[in-house]
Structure 1
Amino acid sequence: MATLNSIAQSLENKSILITGSTGFLAKIFVEKILRVQPQVKRLYLLVRASDAKSAKRRIDTQVISKELFRVLRTKHGDEFDSFISEKICPIAGDMAVEDLGIQETHLKQEIMEEVDIIANVAATTSFDERYDVALNINAMGADRVMAFAQRCHKLQMFLHVSTAYVCGCKSGLVLEKPIRMGETANGQNNLDIEAELRLAEKELKELRARGVEKTEETAAMKELGFKRARSFGWPNSYAFTKAMGEMLIGESRKDLPLVIIRPTIIESTLVDPFPGWIEGFRTAGSVIMSYGKGKLKCFPSNVDFPIDVIPADMVVNAMVVSMVAHSWQPQAFIYHVGSSKQNPTTTSLLADCAHRYFSNNPVKGKDGRAISVDKLFLYTSLDDFKKYMNFYYNVPLQVLRLANFALFNVWGRLHRDLTRKYNFAMYLAELYDPYVFFDGRFDDSSAEGLRMAMKASGMKEAELFNFDPKCINWEEYCMKVYYPGLVKYAMVQK
């Protein structure tokens, strides 16, 4: 491992190409670098856009204008816009095509000659994404970025953000080890990525040949993703295709320095640039806010298993430190960034904090009235949860449907509203089942080694780039940071 003297200083005069820059994690990564090292040379931000003007508009509206940048904006004052113009170069492109879809020849050449680091943060993170889309972005997109990296003249680091759940539905201690080409999560080791691509293409052609509606096409491609993922031991198309992405870049990297960051369940920032910032509902956040809005009264979860949550700023800190530590080293390094080994929390703690928080700080409904919440009941198996939901919700819904039909749709709106809530609860339960019943802990020995190296070097920046989960007080995080952040930044009041 390289000697860690100064993380921020190591970023001085560096040019970094960042994919997925309009995404939640990449925004925090961009803001962090600009704030800790204003002398960074250039950040090339690849965005899906038709031309340079559209790319700039997306970066301005979806990145720079966000509340996340208020600390940086205050720091630079009237010079903020000129600072951003100097340091950020929006790039119109598309990971779905060769050369990342960069059409401007001079700009493509400039990047290949100037870029020191490539950070591939782009991904579709939906657990139920269409299989063709997930394959194209999470698997083949990563491979295309690596192919582009091979043509960069002075590249010293390829940083790839994956997910800890590429391990599949394993139990026990999950090690920080690479995934070999063709390796499956259920031990069959018979995965052929080219065959998966052909299968997705064949299915899509057949659907379109039949002239199905777009919604039916999407549903069929989502179902294909779930089916293929589970046949190889992964819980969904997201984890499955991220695993394929790791296989592809591991196979094609040659001797290029590579760091793979595998975060667990990423939620709101703990400290940096300020506590609680989040964008949209993440994995746990959608369940928490559904409960706070009165839409969810029970949920399946094993209360004894750890739920591996990690604040987003800690993930970004691990990204920055690892890419600096391993620049120019022609090996591949893998880091789990999570909490389940060092400082685990549980769904029971999250649920208890949610009850206390939303009891004291109730969400207001559409009528302006405070929504009252009872304590979230946790079922210890998905089957028990389904039985409860069927008896107390589905059966009464069917009775209401029949009564509504007999009385000329007098309760039509009520039936639709209750049906929507029932379907949403069942959807969340099925979607998150592999995570709330995940009986494993993620080994972070490599990450711990990196933290120890920072301490051993006596770095003054250790706190600035902290990614040690042992410092998290989960009750305080939930009550004072995470849940208030969800309400303030992620929830759209209607």
Structure 2
Amino acid sequence: MLWYSFTAYVSGEKTGLILENSYSMGETLNGVSGLDINFEKNVIEQKLNELRLLGASDKDITQAMKDLGIQRARLYGWPNTYVFTKAMGEMLVGEFKANMATIILRPTIITSTFKEPFPGWAEGVRTIDSLAIGYAKGKLTFFLGDVDSVVDLIPADMVVNAIIVAMVAHASNQPSETIYQVGSSMRNPIKYRSLQDFGYRYFSKKPWINKDGKAVIVGKIRVMDSMASFHRYMALRYLLPLKGLEFANTAFCHFFQGVCSDLNRKISFVTRLIDIYRPYLFFNAIFDDINTEKLRMAAKSSLAENDMFYFDPKCINWDDYFMNTHIPGIVKYIFK
């Protein structure tokens, strides 16, 4: 038996209902032909060799390779390198699985644990957690995205349980390939608007205490519902003042060079970050989970320890989970 965990977001920016279908070798999201994994490897190696011959610094090499990855991903319809490489991984599994039972698990956005090993455990900063940290510390002043779109979340322990149950279900090792999309958008959807509300309510009652010992007061944040509104905001709030500062820097013999460079770097970082996460902030799809639901039904009827290996998102009360489990968990284990 082979099992692999990838991500539900190999679907790229597709809308509507995303089925639990596999990717065939060379398949692309936009119909552009010519995707060849060996060729992609050669492109990477050639670019690396070229940069090294030019004597590029490690920092410049890293940035150039990130840019190349996004360029190659978008050529074939994927929004970034992460989901592009995950999709190619699925293609390789399908190509070389031979006659083995193969399980491909596609979790959505993984959040802190629901129950096990204890509620609220988390490790590492996830996408939505970085938003919570920025908001609680007073650094996030606006939200970019469609607040009425569904955000697909699934606690980490439910993902682990789905893996275990799937392995038991396929223990006979009969030749097959089954894809399980493990998420909540189909059975128990939640919207970004609710996440905003949970954050405001929690940190209004239990504000973050900063390094100076002062409570950070949070408020309702501004919502930008389009990339156009974001670009207008950046232009008026940061780019125009930067132009003025650059003019003054030139007039005063580069006296403000350090400030200009720092502001330029921060603006570039935010712009790149938004560009990478834009597809998820405006994501408008639901992940079908027919195979996963069949797995849950099979577990209920045949697995004696079914209650121990829970992974049904319908059992989650999102209000209770965020207010009493997830947010307290990330404050305890992730906030620094």
Specify if TM > 0.5.
yes
Deviations 1:344-401 (A, max 9, x none): 1111111121122122222233322222222122211122112112212332344355
1:270 maps to which of 103, 109, 114: 114
Worse-superposed segment, 215-224 or 363-372: 363-372
* Paired letter, 1:332: E
Question: Which of 61, 81, 84 is the equivalent residue of 1:237?
Answer: 81
Q: 1:426 to 1:361 in 2, by over 3 A?
A: farther
Find out whether 1:222 has 2:66 as its counterpart: yes
Q: Which amino acid aligns with 2:216?
A: I
1:88-124 per-position Cα deviation (integer Å, ceiling 9, x unaligned): xxxxxxxxxxxxxxxxxxxxxxxxxxxxxxxxxxxxx
Give RMSD over aligned pairs: 2.2
Q: Which of residues 450, 456, 462 in structure 1 aligns to 2:295?
A: 450
Aligned to 2:220: 375
Alignment check: 8 A CA contact 1:295 1:421 kept:
no
Question: What TM-score do the two structures reach when normalised by structure 1?
Answer: 0.64
Q: Deviations over 1:472-491 (max 9, x none)?
A: 11122221111111111112
Equivalent position SS for 1:261: strand
Separation (CA, whole Å) in 1 of partners of 2:136 and 2:269 = 15
Aligned to 1:384: 229
Residue aligning to 1:352: 197
Written as runs of structure 1 = structure 2, the 5 A alignment for 1:176-191 is 176-191=20-35
Question: Aligned partners of 1:291 and 1:408: how far apart in 2?
Answer: 38
Instruction: Name 2:7's counterpart in structure 1.
Output: 163
- Aligned residue for 2:208, secondary structure, equals coil
**In 2 relative to 1, CA 318–189 (structure 1 residues): closer, same or farther, beyond 3 Å?**
farther
Distance 1:366-1:398 versus aligned 2 partners, 3 A rule: farther
CA distance in 1, matches of 2:45, 2:186: 40
Count of paired positions: 335
Indicate conservation of the 8 Å contact 1:299/1:385, yes or no: no
Paired with 1:427 and 1:270, the residues of 2 have a C-alpha distance of 33
Q: Which amino acid aligns with 2:295?
A: L
Structure 2 counterpart SS, 1:310: strand
Deviation at residue 275 of structure 1 after TM alignment: 0.9
Which shifted more, 428-437 or 169-178?
428-437
Match of 1:337 among 182, 185, 188: 182
Percent identity of paired positions between Structure 1 and Structure 2:
49
Matched position secondary structure for 1:274 = coil
CA gap of 1:425–1:366, structure 2 versus 1, over 3 A, is farther
The amino acid of 1:348's aligned partner reads R
Partner of 2:314: 470
TM-score by length of 2: 0.93
Match of 2:327 among 477, 483, 486: 483
> Gapped runs of 5+ residues in structure 2?
none
In 2, distance between residues paired with 1:250 and 1:453? 25
Supply the distance in 2 between the matched residues of 1:422 and 1:364 (Cα, whole angstroms): 27
Greater CA drift, 265-274 or 216-225: 265-274
1:46-445 equivalences in 2 (<5 Å): 157-327=1-171, 328-400=173-245, 402=247, 422-445=267-290
Distance 2:44 2:133 in 1: 34
Question: C-alpha distance in 1, partners of 2:207/2:258?
Answer: 25
Q: Which has the higher contact order (CA 8 A, sep 6+)?
A: 2
Q: Which digits, 9 at most, give the CA deviation of each residue in 1:26-49, with x for residues without a partner?
A: xxxxxxxxxxxxxxxxxxxxxxxx
Structure 1 portions without partners, runs of 5+: 1-156
